[in-house]
Structures are given as C-alpha cells and as structure tokens.
Amino acid sequence: MAPRRRRAWPAAAAVFVEAVVAVGFAAEAADMVQERLTVGMTIVADAASTGAGKPRRDPPRFFPFLLIAVCLDGSPPAYHLHRGSGAGARSWLLQFEGGGWCNDVRSCAERAGTRRGSTRLMTKVEVFSDILSNRPFMNPDFYNWNRVKLRYCDGGSFSGDSEYKNGSSVLYFRGQRIWDAIITDLLQKGLAKAKNVLLSGCSAGGLATFFHCDSLKERLGGATTVKCLSDAGFFLDL
Ligand SMILES: *[C@@H]1O[C@H](CO)[C@@H](O)[C@H](O)[C@H]1NC(C)=O
C-alpha cells in the first residue's frame, strides 16, 4: 500500500499544478484579447482613379494625372491611423506594410486579385501590436505616438509610376503616387506639425523605407526630426 500511495501523491499534485497553470494561461489570454487594439482602414479616396470621394479645393478634374495613385488592380490606396496623445501627440511612427514583390505581368496580374494587390480584398481592420501597440509596457517608446500602418498594394515597394495595358486588362504600377497621396493626406491630419517622425518597415517595407526616407525629410522641412528604420530592407542581387 505504501508504495502505491507514494506514487499517487505526485500524480495528484501534478494534476493540481496543471490546472492552476491552465487557469493562469486562460486568464492571460482573455486579458490580451480584451486589450487588443484594432484600427479601421482609411481609404485615400481622392487619390483613386474612380474619382470617388469629396471634391477637393484644387479640382482634380483639371489634373487627371493626379488621380492615378492606385493599387495594382485600380483600387484606392489605404492606411490605418491610431492617434497619439500626451507627450506623443506631435510624434509620428509611419510603418510600411511588407509582403514581397511581383516580378512580371503574369505574377503581378495574379497579385492584383489578392489582398497584396487590392485594398478591396484586404482586411479592413488591423490589429496594432508590437511597435504599433498603444500599451506602454509592450511599446514603451512609441505607445503614445501617432502610429500609421501604410497598406502595401502596388507590388513594388511603394515605387514605380507606370501602367501595363494589353487590350483586355490593365495593371497599375503606381507605388510612388500611392506614397505621395498617403503623405499628402497625413500632412493635413497633423503630420505637417510633427516634431518627430520615424519611418519604418520590414522586408519590402524596409526597402520602401530606404526609397522614401530622404524625400520625407525634404517634404517635412527642418523643424521635424526624421529618422528611418529599415528592417531587412537591403537585398543583394546575386
Ligand atoms: C493580358 O494580360 C493578362 C494578364 O497577364 C492575361 O491574362 C490576358 O490573357 C492578356 N490578354 C491579351 C489579349 O494578351
């Protein structure tokens, strides 16, 4: 009897410990789900070739070339903005979404029909976590900054300015115009008065960071400190 009891004791203890651990994880998971920050999409409608959106002060109908900041499939570009507050109210973190590239008409036509080439097919609400989080203990440096996720839909790291037409289909390579349109929109929403701006992105978004760091600094002028963080954005052509 004695040996059996000795064996039974640790087993019971283990079950008890597991139960406590499981309750602990469940509580933590519930806490994280509850505090998860979700941010809705802002469509840059004035930039769309469809001309949708409100009339602008400088009527775009006289400048049709201004209306072609569009994704691969012709849908309007978009971003997600969560406003800063307190000491971070005049600081902005801009983050390019990553997601590789397309390389030719076939692969870009394919991409145009996915969430990587069309804002129509994207999730309209994004979870802001990590460097986009609004929780001080998770994101101590930027939690109270204005934080923006720039959606990636041009297939070429927010660069390029041309079109492909073959009679039956059109592909838009307007990454440069998407970048210009989003920044123009954000300038009106407070970016023009920023004290600090950090431009960042990973992979294809890291390359976009290299492409646009200098021009952003020029556009914002001397009163704004602009820094750029390219995460895995340099690609060797081997
Ligand atoms: C035009 O390009 C698309 C995308 O690659 C292709 O599916 C289509 O067959 C092409 N049409 C013509 C007429 O070449």
Query: Which atom in ligand 1 lies closest to the alpha carbon of residue 166?
Result: 1
pTM, two decimals, is: 0.80
Question: Is 89 in a helix, a strand, or coil?
Answer: coil
What sign has the CA pseudo-torsion 67, 169, 119, 194? negative
Model confidence band, residue 235 (pLDDT cutoffs 50, 70, 90): confident
Structure tokens at 105: 């008409």
Q: How far does residue 170's CA lie from ligand 1's centre (Å)?
A: 9
Q: How far does residue 169's CA lie from ligand 1's centre (Å)?
A: 6
Which residues, at least 6 apart from 220, have a Cβ–Cβ distance to it below 8 Å? 191, 192, 194, 197, 226
Overall average pLDDT of the 149-158 stretch: 98
Q: How far does residue 163's CA lie from ligand 1's centre (Å)?
A: 14
Q: Is residue 70 within 8 Å of 170, Cβ to Cβ?
A: no
Question: Which residues' Cβ are closer than 6 Å to ligand 1?
Answer: 105-106, 109, 166-169
For 6-44, how does the pLDDT look when each residue is reduced to its tens digit (9 = 90+)? Answer: 444 444 444 444 444 444 445 455 445 557 999 999 999
What CA–CA distance (Å, rounded) separates 206 from 200? Answer: 7
